């Protein structure tokens, strides 16, 4: 059996025709799945019983098994098991007037940021398109409110799994799919230069919200805490971002995790301002106070250090915002995603 969620509309049309059914059956199936939330052929009443039987013998709807769910006031963390026994996490973030789903794109991560708990597990494999979409489908079924925003900020580096992420994005933004606005889908990357160049030329991907984890204002420091900078130098990364084809009203989000006495000194803020002086209006800086993990040697800076850093950037004409991560209580915040963290933290 193959999973429906891994198909585009055109691919599914070809598949149902190969089974002897009419092309439009694919349109009906995806309408049931993505518009009505139905993942049972027996309930698709505008398809004949015979055709439903043929389809049920060929296709399934889910590839992930939900094995745990932990709720906090600001978020819900879901733990899913893949068919080959791995675990991946998805976090539903409760915003003031909408829901945002933080999806994983890989099992583990190979980037190796020294401050990130997820990276300690290394990379096991890429998630397939259907495994990415199934995170959305299952969480949406569990939520009474429509999920309007998706962020690829869960486990993994999305641009290292480019083709599967691209296809999942196509399902998300297409009218026949989840029909989300491109401006409500965000891709967060550690800055793989070759893939960012590819994304900039890709009509499916280039209009998405782009968030890039900078985390350091110099090559030396960034290389120390983000080893990927050795092969993706900071100055080359910034050149690509300066040239990224956004219209004037769009800004690239630069994510900067503030770690006490590592990258949060005034000199670091001044260096970051210098890095962005070529076109500060092209960027928006999100300062994220570090989310501590008991197995890592880093600490969250006091608020006065966070706001001092922010003020220096504002004084240099750079739009800068402090983002306190949702999901801390369920170890589902930035850099905390690890499959074994399934219990609520008691503060």
222 and 250 share one domain? yes
291 and 145 share one domain? yes
What is the C-alpha to C-alpha distance for residues 288 and 286, in angstroms, rounded to an integer? 6
40 and 154 share one domain? no
- Average pLDDT for residues 3-32, to the nearest whole number? 98
Binding-site residues sit at 109, 113, 116, 156-157, 188, 213-215, 291
CA nearest 204: which of 152, 241, 163?
163
User: How far, in Å, are 49, 235, 254, 257, 292 from residue 212 at the CA level?
Assistant: 49, 14, 5, 11, 21
Q: Which domain holds residue 246?
A: 65-330
Residue 345 lies in a domain: no
Residue 346 lies in a domain: no
Q: Give me the pLDDT at residue 333, please.
A: 53
Instruction: Count CB neighbours of 56 within 10 A.
Output: 14
What is the C-alpha to C-alpha distance for residues 8 and 17, in angstroms, rounded to an integer? 14
Residue 108 lies in a domain: yes
Query: Residues 85-139: pLDDT tens digits?
Result: 999 999 999 988 899 999 999 999 999 898 887 777 789 999 999 999 999 999 9
User: How far, in Å, are 21, 38, 42 from residue 57 at the CA level?
Assistant: 14, 17, 12
- Asked if the model's pLDDT at residue 341 lies above 50, the reply is no
Q: Give me the pLDDT at residue 1, please.
A: 86
What is the C-alpha to C-alpha distance for residues 9 and 52, in angstroms, rounded to an integer? 18
Query: Residues 30-48: pLDDT tens digits?
Result: 999 999 999 999 999 999 9
- Asked if the model's pLDDT at residue 225 lies above 80, the reply is yes
Active site residues: 89, 334
Binding-site residues for S-adenosyl-L-methionine sit at 156-157, 188, 213-215, 291
55 and 69 share one domain? no
Q: How confident is the model at residue 331 (pLDDT cuts 50, 70, 90)?
A: low
- Asked if the model's pLDDT at residue 285 lies above 60, the reply is yes
Boundary residue ending a domain (60, 89, 106): 60
- Average pLDDT for residues 316-341, to the nearest whole number? 66
What is the C-alpha to C-alpha distance for residues 295 and 299, in angstroms, rounded to an integer? 11
Residue 342 lies in a domain: no
Boundary residue ending a domain (19, 37, 60): 60
143 and 11 share one domain? no
Strand 185-189 relative to strand 147-152, pairing: parallel
Q: Give me the pLDDT at residue 344, please.
A: 35
52 and 73 share one domain? no
Structurally, the chain folds into a number of domains equal to 2
Q: What CATH number has the domain bearing residue 42?
A: 1.10.150.530
195 and 129 share one domain? yes
10 and 147 share one domain? no
Q: Give me the pLDDT at residue 325, please.
A: 65
């Amino acid at each position: 059996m193959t999973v429906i969620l891994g198909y585009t509309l055109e691919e599914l049309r070809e598949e149902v025709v190969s089974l002897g059914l009419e092309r439009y059956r694919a349109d009906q199936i995806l309408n049931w799945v993505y518009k009505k939330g139905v993942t049972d052929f027996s309930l698709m009443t505008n398809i004949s019983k015979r055709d439903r039987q043929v389809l049920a013998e060929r296709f399934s709807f889910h590839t992930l098994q939900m094995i745990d769910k932990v709720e906090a006031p600001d978020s819900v963390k879901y733990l899913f098991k893949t068919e080959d026994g791995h675990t991946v996490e998805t976090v539903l973030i409760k915003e003031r007037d909408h829901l945002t789903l933080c999806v994983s794109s890989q099992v583990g991560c190979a980037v190796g940021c020294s401050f990130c708990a997820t990276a300690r597990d290394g990379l096991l494999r890429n998630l397939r398109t259907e495994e990415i979409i199934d995170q959305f489908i299952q969480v949406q079924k569990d939520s009474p409110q429509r999920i309007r925003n998706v962020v690829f900020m869960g486990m993994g580096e999305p641009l290292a799994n480019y083709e599967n992420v691209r296809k999942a994005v196509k399902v998300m933004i297409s009218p026949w799919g989840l029909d989300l606005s491109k401006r409500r889908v965000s891709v967060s990357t550690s800055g793989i230069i070759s893939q960012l160049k590819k994304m900039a030329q890709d009509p499916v991907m280039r209009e998405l919200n782009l968030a890039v984890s900078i985390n350091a204002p110099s090559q030396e420091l960034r290389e120390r805490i983000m080893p990927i900078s050795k092969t993706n130098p900071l100055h080359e990364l910034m050149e690509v971002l300066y040239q990224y084809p956004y219209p004037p009203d769009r800004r690239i989000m630069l994510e900067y995790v503030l770690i006490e006495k590592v990258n949060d000194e005034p000199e670091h803020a001044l260096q970051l301002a210098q890095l962005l002086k070529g076109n500060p209006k092209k960027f928006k800086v999100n300062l994220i106070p570090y989310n501590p993990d008991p197995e890592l040697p880093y600490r969250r800076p006091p608020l006065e250090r966070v706001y001092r850093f922010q003020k220096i950037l504002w004084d240099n004409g750079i739009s800068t915002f402090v983002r306190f991560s949702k999901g801390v209580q369920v170890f589902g915040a930035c850099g905390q995603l690890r499959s074994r963290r399934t219990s609520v933290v008691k503060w």
